[in-house]
Amino acid sequence: MNKIRLLILGTGGMAANHAEAFAAIDGVDIVAGVDTNTDRLSAFCEKHDISNGFSTLDEALAWGAFDAVTNVTPDGAHAATTLPLLTAGKHVLCEKPLATTYADAREMAITARHAGVINMVNLSYRNGASLMHAAHLIGQGAIGAVRHFEASYLQSWLTQPAWGDWKTDPTWLWRLSTRHGSKGVLGDVGVHILDFATLAAGSRVDDISCRLTTFDKAPGGAIGAYTLDANDSATMQVRLQNGAVGVVHASRFATGHLNDLTLRIHGTDGAIEVCDHNHKSTMRACLGDDRLTATWRDITSPPVRTNFVRFIDAIREGAAVLPDFDRGAALQKVLDAAETSHRGNGIFVAV
């Protein structure tokens, strides 16, 4: 088994999940961490028994003793940090969204293709067995031609403290401030629900109409250095290239939902519902003659390999893996179109 030397770029909150997941894979050595916050870097490396720490990416590249990188930097830093890694011939798993603009995401995808390295976006809900099984069944024609879908991503961390107090914790406050790099709920989880829906439907977005809403959350619209101007809810109407139409919505004000994704997708011969409620994945379907009586049955889905495992397997096998940077760029193009639509008062924008 080939040893893979992995570097973790960015050692904030999500990095711990990456470190634990990669450490559990046979033959993966986490050899270094990189973070401009040296105190956080030192604590992270000590906790995860990582021998080398660098305060800049340039220092890590000059050292060079790594094969692959998992990029867990903030969204706005993805392009600037990933591009030199690709040029250096390093395999990269990048957190979602791939970038904050389609232009940057497209450059990343083209550079990765030319570099000939394994490139992958960590769209984590592809770790859910039900979504992947639903996509397979629909691709095999189980529901006939796709006609209509409803997709939602509902969170409630602005209405309860289950994940911490957003009013005092920078981990959450930055997500509410465009000046701190946030694209709001659209950029944070919109990429997930759009991938969730279009993967299952087996088609990319043709055009989109979007409304974004930012609600008052504090006196004067600010808390300390954080101006709370990023969008809190997004509602979208979408038409796919295969002719299907649907609605997609996401919110941080969805009281009663901690972290819930739901997709209902209807075709000429059946329908499937996929739920990922607080990381528990389930599916039910109305197929075949059951559609005559509107009878729904639970479907058991076979297990899937995680994105982390598939990334490492792809490096070892020298084979491409999905979702790749091309997919990440395609999704970013939809997000850009959604923002354009909102600025145009909800007009439909071609993707």
One-letter identity of residue 141 = G
CA–CA gap between residue 59 and residue 197 (Å, rounded): 40
Q: Is the N-terminal amide bond of 74 cis, ω within 30° of 0?
A: no
Closest by CA position to 307, among listed 66, 73, 71:
71
Q: Please state the rounded mean pLDDT for residues 61-68.
A: 98
Q: Which residues pair with 9 in a beta bridge?
A: 34, 71
pLDDT, tens digit (0-9, with 9 covering 90-100), for 194-203: 999 999 999 9
Q: By C-alpha distance, which of 334, 193, 329, 180 is closest to 250?
A: 193
How far, in Å, CA of 335 to CA of 242, rounded?
19
Q: Which two tokens stand for residue 171?
A: 């981990």
Return d(Cα 267, Cα 259) in angstroms, integer. Answer: 27
CA distances (Å), 319 to each of 71, 118, 290, 324, in order?
Answer: 20, 8, 40, 12
Question: Looking at the predicted structure, is the pLDDT value of residue 207 above 80?
Answer: yes
Give the 3-state DSSP-derived string for the chain, with helices as H, strands as E and coil as C: CCCEEEEEECCCCCHHHHHHHHHCCCCEEEEEEECCCHHHHHHHHHHCCCCEEECCHHHHHHHCCCCEEEECCCHHHHHHHHHHHHHCCCEEEEECCCCCCHHHHHHHHHHHHHHCCCEEEECHHHHCHHHHHHHHHHHCCCCCCEEEEEEEEEECCCCCCCCCCCCCCHHHHHHHCHHHCCCHHHHHHHHHHHHHHHHHHCCCEEEEEEEEECCCCCHHHEECCEECCCCCEEEEEEEECCCCEEEEEEECCCCCCCEEEEEEEEECCEEEEEEEECCEEEEEEEEHHHHHCCCCEEECCCCCCCHHHHHHHHHHHCCCCCCCHHHHHHHHHHHHHHHHHHHCCCCCEEC
Question: Where in the sequence of the chain do the CATH 3.30.360.10 domains occur?
Answer: 128-290+325-350
pLDDT tens, 226-267?
999 999 999 999 999 999 999 999 999 999 999 999 999 999
Record the pTM: 0.95
CATH architecture for residues 4-124:
3-Layer(aba) Sandwich (3.40)
| pLDDT of 236 | 98
| CA dihedral sign, ordered 108, 16, 186, 135 | positive
Burial 232-254 (b: 16+ CB within 10 A, else e): bbbbbbbbbeeebebebbbbbbb
CA distance to 166, 184, 276, 321, per residue, from 75 (Å): 19, 11, 24, 22
pLDDT band per the 50, 70, 90 thresholds, residue 138? very high
Q: Give the architecture-level CATH label for domain 128-290+325-350.
A: 2-Layer Sandwich (3.30)
Task: Pinpoint the residues of the chain covered by CATH 3.40.50.720.
Answer: 4-124
Query: Is residue 1 over pLDDT 80?
Result: no
Q: Tell me: the pLDDT tens digits for 311-332?
A: 999 999 999 999 999 999 999 9
pLDDT at 226: 97
